[in-house]
């Protein structure tokens, strides 16, 4: 308890999965959280659950520059500071070989996964410069490995997130701002359900069996397990960690 006591945390993609789990865990660890995502109704319910003294939200599309600026401004207005940013929003996109991949789908995925992270860094960093803090980017094992077929845009975006992280870490190390990436492997989330459906239309359970067969631990991770790692990087326990790529992938990156 209390590993984030008196810390203010901004979380993107907070409406489900890892983002929602992180919000719940962080408040339990003493943090105040400012949440964002596209679904205002879900954010409102989560804020009520967390308690309005500990949480607030602003719905919006993080691929838009004005939304990122407004989110940080609203967080500072509500809580007076920003100590941790979890850039968690992302999408899996379409599934198709490169020659058949729709340009519009490619651009939409890049806008969310890459432009959204860039803008999150652009507006979070100035808010953290005076006091320092931690920025954690939820990337993916796809940032290291091009696993599966038909996911070129997703794989490219996750590699790009790692590049943004490393650049931001080097630019801000002397400012006391740490920047790291967490790379989940297959995890029990809505996104993984969508990936399974893309890989095996009409029989997603078959895709899940195939994925699990290739996992050294023989199972998917949970959002709580991924959040454990994010919590470490968000907290002062990881004060010497910056510019790092941390996997939570059940051993998938070992081979």
The CA distance from 28 to 23, in Å, is 9
For residues 228 and 201, give the distance between their C-alpha atoms in angstroms, rounded to a whole number. 32
**What is the SS3 assignment for 24?**
helix
Catalytic site residue from 101, 154, 220, 246: 154
Residue 134: name the closest of 68, 224, 232 by CA. 232
Q: Which structure tokens are listed for 96?
A: 């198709």
Question: Is 123 assigned a catalytic role?
Answer: no
In angstroms, the CA 222 to CA 20 distance is 12
- Which whole-number Å values give the CA distances from 235 to 58, 79, 85, 87, 219, in the listed order? 24, 18, 11, 15, 28
The residues annotated with a catalytic role in the active site are 154
């Amino acid at each position: 308890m209390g590993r984030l006591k008196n810390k203010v945390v901004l979380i993107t993609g907070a409406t489900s999965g890892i983002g929602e789990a992180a919000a719940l865990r962080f408040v339990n660890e003493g943090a105040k959280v400012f949440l964002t995502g596209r679904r205002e109704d879900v954010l409102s319910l989560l804020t009520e659950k967390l308690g309005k003294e500990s949480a607030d939200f602003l719905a919006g599309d993080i691929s838009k520059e004005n939304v990122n600026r407004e989110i940080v401004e609203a967080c500072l207005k509500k809580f007076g500071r920003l100590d941790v940013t979890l850039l968690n929003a992302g999408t899996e996109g379409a599934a198709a070989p490169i020659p058949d991949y729709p340009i519009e789908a490619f651009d939409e995925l890049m806008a969310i996964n890459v432009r959204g992270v860039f803008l999150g860094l652009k507006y979070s960093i100035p808010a953290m410069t005076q006091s320092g803090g931690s920025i954690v980017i939820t990337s993916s094992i796809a940032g290291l490995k091009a696993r599966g077929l038909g996911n070129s845009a997703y794989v490219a975006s996750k590699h790009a997130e790692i590049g943004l992280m490393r650049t931001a870490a080097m630019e801000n190390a002397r400012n006391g701002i740490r920047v790291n990436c967490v790379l989940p492997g297959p995890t029990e989330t809505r996104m993984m359900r969508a990936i399974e459906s893309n890989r095996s239309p009409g029989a997603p359970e078959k895709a899940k069996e195939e994925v699990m067969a290739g996992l050294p631990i023989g199972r998917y991770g949970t959002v709580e397990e991924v959040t454990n790692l994010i919590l470490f990087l968000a907290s002062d326990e990881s004060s010497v960690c910056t510019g790092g790529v941390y996997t939570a992938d059940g051993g998938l990156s070992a081979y």
